[in-house]
Structure 1
């Protein structure tokens, strides 16, 4: 997995997923928001990291058994391959009656320095999961284990999580609005535009708070574009 430059993490930590979806839409990418993945806590901070993908398929009785957990090719094996700083993206096909991951697995991920877990499935052992401190985005919770509804397949393959294609090394940004995928090849291009868009919208908000009307401001007409440019120049001079 390609290491992610700290400057990119720092930059995107200040950019909302809402802004990112707008920037990606302008690039022609409409399907980047992972459906069904929401933070387990209402005060969860934004996270940024490379995707480490994990794939499940529907349960098959000869393969989806408790004994399969001891296999080298298992969820346990996948965790030991996760590098520090990655975000585990688990394709659970949206299954909601089998907990894809539990507290012990999350505790091990936290110990390895994994940044977060994102899944279109659900978690089990929810109290314990929350206790690990690992940031998690999921569709909720269910008591049954993964093998009740899912068969583990492999890691670091392309997956379809929440209806979105996610490839290993894609960038994941997740906040209170959910999780967004930035294709690895577009990261450098997206970062600068996203930071500028976030700065611009911050200025718009300040204008709105000062009593400005929206027509001509959002989106801006030529007068307000010039006003924003003057604001930027003044900020640079300080």
Structure 2
């Protein structure tokens, strides 16, 4: 699924914190991927369809350097990635085997991939940082992926950070980490999230003015009326 530019720009204006609130109102509580931290501060908010990489725990007859040349390999998966996708990698929470290093990250950057998200770790830190490619992960390790993981396929449902991610779900990542928007809910989120962001920005302005929280957050009837008056005035 390719996201249109309007959807991307809308979601780039909405924080992951706001998205979790919007999705919570729809009954989805488990959408924030644990252990997905920005590799460097200040990475731009990224938006794109999920392109999934599935690992399982390492098995010695399969997790070998020779497997990197297999038709089913991370290398082949990267070559199948469309421009604008976000790589979502099930690193199984393994902390001592880097799922990708500088060469693979650099190739994704060359292919126009938007970002990479994993609950695992990366290797070749200096080279990964030098690729100037947005990465969200759980740390760094020197060992290669086959030291703790076996790659088995791409574009299958995976778990990342304890969250179910399906191919073409929409991923949004910022300084708070990675959130998944189920593809079937995208239109609803696009319709509702900007208003939630606007509402919370107005509440912050009220806090800055010294307004007390009771009745403001959450809003009582009087505060709702003031907010509606603000919206009506700002739309003129």
TM-score > 0.5, shorter chain as reference? yes
The CA deviation at 1:44 is 1.2
Paired with 2:219 and 2:18, the residues of 1 have a C-alpha distance of 16
Paired with 2:35 and 2:209, the residues of 1 have a C-alpha distance of 37
The CA deviation at 1:233 is 1.1
2:63 matched residue in structure 1: 64
Q: Does 1:74 align with 2:66?
A: no
Equivalenced residue count is 236
Across the aligned residues of Structure 1 and Structure 2, the Cα RMSD in angstroms comes to: 0.7
The CA deviation at 1:15 is 0.7
1:122 matched residue in structure 2: 121
Paired with 2:6 and 2:143, the residues of 1 have a C-alpha distance of 41
The CA deviation at 1:45 is 1.5
1:151 matched residue in structure 2: 150
The CA deviation at 1:30 is 0.8
SS of structure 1 residue aligned to 2:229: helix
Paired with 1:46 and 1:187, the residues of 2 have a C-alpha distance of 17
1:215 matched residue in structure 2: 214
SS of structure 2 residue aligned to 1:137: strand
Q: Does 1:205 align with 2:204?
A: yes
The CA deviation at 1:207 is 0.9
The CA deviation at 1:31 is 0.8
1:225 matched residue in structure 2: 224
1:52 matched residue in structure 2: 51
Paired with 1:227 and 1:112, the residues of 2 have a C-alpha distance of 49
Paired with 2:111 and 2:204, the residues of 1 have a C-alpha distance of 40
Please give the TM-score of this superposition, normalised by the length of structure 1.
Answer: 0.98
Q: Does 1:9 align with 2:3?
A: no
SS of structure 1 residue aligned to 2:95: coil
The CA deviation at 1:223 is 1.1
Please give the TM-score of this superposition, normalised by the length of structure 2.
Answer: 0.99
Q: Does 1:188 align with 2:187?
A: yes
What stretches of structure 1 move > 6 A for 4+ residues in a row? none
Deviations 1:67-100 (A, max 9, x none): 1111121010000001000000000110010000
Matched ranges for 1:81-160 at <5 A: 81-160=80-159
Q: Structure 2: any 5+ residue segments left out of the alignment?
A: none
Deviations 1:162-191 (A, max 9, x none): 111000000000111110001000000011
Matched ranges for 1:170-189 at <5 A: 170-189=169-188
Paired with 1:32 and 1:111, the residues of 2 have a C-alpha distance of 29
SS of structure 1 residue aligned to 2:76: helix
